[in-house]
Structure 1
Amino acid sequence: MAKSELTAEMLHDLRKQYESAPESSILERAVTQNGINNVAKDKDIKTKLNPVFSVEVETGNVSNQKRSGRCWLFSILNTLKHRFAKKYNVKNFELSQNYLFFWDKIERANIFYDRMIATAGLPTNDRTVSFYLDGPGTDGGQWAMAASLVQKYGVMPTSAFSETNVSENTTDLNEVLNLKLRRDGMKLREMVNNDATDEDINVAREKMLSEVYRIAGYSLGVPPKTFDFEYRDDKKKYHLDCNLTPKSFYAKYFSDVDLNDYVVLSNSPDKAMNKRYSMSAQNNVVGGINIEFLNLTMPELKTAAIDQLKSGETVWFGNDVTRQLSRKEGLLDANLYHYDELFNLNLSMTKAERLAYKQGEVSHAMTLTGVDLVNDKPTKWKVENSWGDKNGFNGYFVMADNWMDEYVYEVVINKKFLTDSQRELLSLAPEELKPWDSLA
C-alpha cells in the first residue's frame, strides 16, 4: 500500500468536517476549559458506588507507597497485617515495606547477573535480552516475587525498620540502579564473550553485588539483624518481645500462614482458559517461588475471592488501575468516563483485544477487603489501596463489579477455596510464557 502523505487539501477537508459539526464549537469550549474527564464523567456513578458492603473484613488504616512502584509488596503485607491485627488485637499494625524492598534490590541484581551471563551469546537487540535490559532496577513486581522475599527473609514491623526519603520516592534510586546494572551486564557479557574464566567472572560478579548492596544501604538503610517488638494492643495491654530476627518474628507471629498454599488465578482471555502458565523470566529470587498463573474465567475468580472474603481473609489482586478511575473520589467503574459519547466514536475493545494490543496491562496491585452481594451476586467491591488516606474513603476505593470484569487480571487465593477440577489443573505442567507476555 502506498504511503499516505497529509496534503494541504486533506488538511483543509479535515478542518471543514470538524467545523461542519454543530456540536464542535460548544464541546471545544467545554473540554478545553474543563478537561476531558470532567466533561465525560458519569455523575451518577458516585451514588451507585455507595461504600457499604454485605461482606467485609475488618481492617485498619491504609498505608502509603508514595512515589514508588512497591504496590505488590504493600499488598502482600496488607494481607499479612490483617491476619496479625485480628489474631493479636492490634488494628493499625504495620509491617515494613522498606525491609522487603531492600532485599528485592539485592536479589533482583543477583538474578539479573545470572541472566546476563546466560544470554551473553545473544545480541543486545534479541527480544529476551532487550526485556532483561529494559528496567533491571525498577520497582514493579508480582505476588510470587513478594512471597519469595517473605519466605527467604521473613518480615518485621515498621517500628523496627522504617521508610526513608528514598523508599518513598524511588525515582533517583531506579535511575542509579538501571545505570549500574546495565553497565554491569555489559561488562559480564564482554567477559563471557572474551572467554574469561568462571573464577574471574564470579569475582567480578561478587564485586558488583557488593556495590549494589552499598547503593541499597545508603538509600534504604541496612536492615537490623535483630530487633525488639514493643507495642500496645487495642485493649491498651503492653507487650514486649525481645531479640527477634525477621525470620523468627515471621515464624512466631504468622505460624498459620503458608504462602505455598496460595495460587494466582488469572483472567487473561488472550490465552487459553483452564491452563497453567509460568513466567520464570520475571522471577526475582533464585530458588524462590516461581511465577505461575491458573487461567480461569472471571466468574471463577470472583467466586474464589468471595469465598476467601467470607472466611475473613483479604485478597491480593492485580489490575489496571489507570483505567476508568477517579483517584480522589476512590471510584472504579467501567462506565465512569464516556469518551465514546463525548467524541462520537466507537472505542470498544474486548479484554482480550486490550491485552493483545497493549491497551490493557497489569499495572497495579491492591487488596480486596469486602464485597456487596445482592441475590448472591457481587455488585461492588471494597478495595484497600496503598495511596494514603487522602484518596477515596479514607484510602479505601469502591470498585464496581463491571470494572472487575474488565480490568482485574489476577487474584491470589488459598488452594482450599478452589474446586476439585481447579485443583486438578495445578498438576498440569505449566506452559512457559514469553517474558513480554501481557501478564508481565
Structure 2
Amino acid sequence: MSDNTTIDPSWAAEKGKSFSADRANRVARNAVTSMNVMAAARDVSRMRTYHDTYGVMLAHTGNVTNQRQSGRCWMFSSFNVARAATIKLLDVDNFEFSQAFGMFYDKLEKANSMLENVIALADRPEDDRELLEVLDYGVGDGGYWCFAMNLISKWGLVPKDVMPETACSKNSSEMDAQLERLTRRAACQIRHAAAAGESKDKLRAIKDKAMADVYQLLSVCLGEPPATFDLEVKVGKNAKVDASKLTPILPEEGADDAKEGDKKDDDKKPAMLLRDAGITPREFAERYVPFDPANYVDLVYMPGGNRVFGTSYHVKVTDSVKGGRPNKFLNEPQDVLEAAAVASLKAGVPVSMSCDVMQEYPRHIDDFPGVLATDGVDLEGLFGVGLKMSREDMLEVRETSLTHAMTFQGVELDGDGKPVAWRVENSWGKDACKDGYLYMSADWFRVYGGEVVVRREFVPAEVLRDWDEGPVVDVEPWDGIAAGLGINRRD
C-alpha cells in the first residue's frame, strides 16, 4: 500500500494475482465457497480421536431440555442443576421444572428493575451512557445464575406440566418486541413527568400502571402463573417424601412375574403416587427441591488487565430482581475453577458453567456433532493466516465473552487428576450436538470457558474468604469486565 493509510488499487490487484496462482489458496477457496468455513476447516484426523467416555459421570441427569428460539440458556442450566436434587429426592429418572413459569417472573422482575433504574436516572440527559445501557438491557431473555436463584427464592418453582411452554416461550422475539415497546413507552412517560417537575410518587404511579400492563401482556403470551396447584407425580420406591402423601399404585408392577421370596426388599415396595393438593410454587420448592439457592459461589476466570484475581465484580444496573442478591462474580485462576468443578462432579453434583460456545465450534457438521476443541478445526491452515489468541488478549479487545450457559455432567481426568475433557449437557434438545451433549476439551474450556457455579463445600477456604469478605468492585455495564461476562450477549 502506497502511503500506508489508504489501499492502493494496484496493491489489491497484485494480491489477487498471487492468491490465484497458489494451489493451496485455490483448494481452500473452492472448499469454503461450496461448504462454508467450519465444514472446510474440520480436521477429520483429530475429530475422530475424541471419545465421549468419562471417568467421572453423573448417572441420572434427566432428559435433555430445549430452550428453543429463546435466550434462556442461563435458566435451563440453573434449573438442570436444581432438578438433580429433585430427581434424587423423588427417586425418578426424569423431572423438569417449568421454564415458562420462570420466564414469566423473570420478565416481570426485569421490567420493574428497568423502570426503577429509569426513575433513578430521570434527571440524566437522553444520551447519558448509563441510561442508554438501562434502555438497551431492558427486558431481554439473557441472564445469569443469580437471576435464577433470586427467582427461585422469591417465586418458587413448579413442574413443567403445571405451566408448559407456549409459542412465545419457545420463540420469544415477538413477545419481547412488545414488552420492550411497552417498557420504553413507560420510560418515556416517566422522563417527561420528571422533566415537568413531578414527584417521585408520580413517577412510581406511572411505573405501577406500566407494571400492570406488563403482567397483562405476559399473561396473554405465557398464560397465568398458578398461585396454587395440585402436585400429582409417580415417584420411585425410595422417594424421601411425606409418607402420608403417598398412595400405592396397584396392581404392583411384576406381581405376577415373580415369587415373593425371589424379590429383594426394595422390589417388594409398590410404585407410589405422590399427591400434594393446593400447594404454592414456594411450598413446592421448599418440599421437593432440596437445594439452597444461597449456597453457591460464582467463579470466573478473567486474567489480565484490570481484572484482579481474588476480587468480586458486580455490574451496575443489571440486577434483575430488586431486593434480591446482587449478581456478583469472583475472579480466580483457572485451576481454582477446574478443581471446584471436579470436586462437585465427584460428589455427584452437576455444575452450571458458561462459555463462548460458538468459538471454533463446527456446530452443524453432521459427521462430528458436538465437539468443542482447539484443534478440531484448522482455521489457520485453511486461510493461511494467524488467528490464535490468548484468553487474556481476547478479553482485552473484546474478542470473547461468556455467551452461553450449560451444565457439566462429567469429566475425564488424566493421571494427575487434571481435566482432559468435560461432558456438557446443553439445552438445544436431544437431537442437537451428540444426543443433546457436547464433548468439550479441557484446552478449549481454558481458552473460551471461564465460569462455573459450585456449592460452597467444593471451594477452598481461602477462596470462600474472597467470596464472603473480599472487595466487591462495581463496574459500568460498558466496562471490559462486563463485556467479558457477556452483558447484553448472554443467550
TM-score range, shorter chain: over 0.9
| 119-128 or 288-297, larger mean C-alpha shift | 119-128
| 120-129 or 426-435, larger mean C-alpha shift | 120-129
Mapped contact 1:330–1:397 kept (Cα < 8 A) = yes
* The one of 119, 123, 138 aligned to 1:121: 123
Distance 1:234 1:325, change over 3 A: farther
**SS in structure 2 of the partner of residue 132 of structure 1:** helix
Mapped contact 2:114–2:139 kept (Cα < 8 A) = no
| AA matched with 1:139 | D
Partner of 1:283: 319
Mapped contact 1:280–1:290 kept (Cα < 8 A) = no
Partner of 1:75: 77
**SS in structure 2 of the partner of residue 166 of structure 1:** helix
Displacement of 1:47 after TM fit?
3.0
Aligned length: 438
Correspondence 1:423 to 2:424: no
d(CA) in 2 for partners of 1:358, 1:33: 30
Partner of 2:14: 13
Query: For residues 335-374 of structure 1, what are the alpha-carbon distances to aligned partners after superposition, in whole Å with 9 as ceiling and x for unaligned?
Result: 2221111111111211122122221011110000111112
Question: Structure 1 length as normaliser, TM-score?
Answer: 0.96
Correspondence 1:25 to 2:18: no
Displacement of 1:431 after TM fit?
0.9
* The one of 263, 282, 304 aligned to 2:297: 263
CA-based RMSD of the aligned residues comes to 1.6
| AA matched with 2:372 | L
**SS in structure 2 of the partner of residue 159 of structure 1:** helix
d(CA) in 2 for partners of 1:261, 1:69: 25
d(CA) in 1 for partners of 2:199, 2:161: 46
Distance 1:56 1:396, change over 3 A: same
1:166-185 correspondence runs (5 A): 166-185=168-187
**SS in structure 1 of the partner of residue 48 of structure 2:** helix
| AA matched with 2:426 | N
Displacement of 1:242 after TM fit?
1.0
Partner of 2:333: 297
- Structure 2, unmatched stretches of 5+, are 238-270
Displacement of 1:234 after TM fit?
4.7
Correspondence 1:394 to 2:435: yes
Partner of 2:260: none
Correspondence 1:347 to 2:347: no
- Structure 1, unmatched stretches of 5+, are none
Distance 1:337 1:303, change over 3 A: same
Correspondence 1:86 to 2:88: yes
Mapped contact 2:296–2:455 kept (Cα < 8 A) = yes
Partner of 1:248: 283
Question: Structure 2 length as normaliser, TM-score?
Answer: 0.86
Partner of 1:315: 351
Displacement of 1:406 after TM fit?
0.9
Displacement of 1:332 after TM fit?
1.1
| 26-35 or 380-389, larger mean C-alpha shift | 26-35
Correspondence 1:222 to 2:224: yes
Mapped contact 2:38–2:362 kept (Cα < 8 A) = no
**SS in structure 1 of the partner of residue 317 of structure 2:** helix
d(CA) in 2 for partners of 1:137, 1:313: 31
| 351-360 or 208-217, larger mean C-alpha shift | 351-360
Displacement of 1:212 after TM fit?
0.9
Report which of the two structures shows the higher radius of gyration computed on alpha carbons. 2
Mapped contact 2:355–2:451 kept (Cα < 8 A) = yes
| AA matched with 1:183 | R
Correspondence 1:239 to 2:239: no
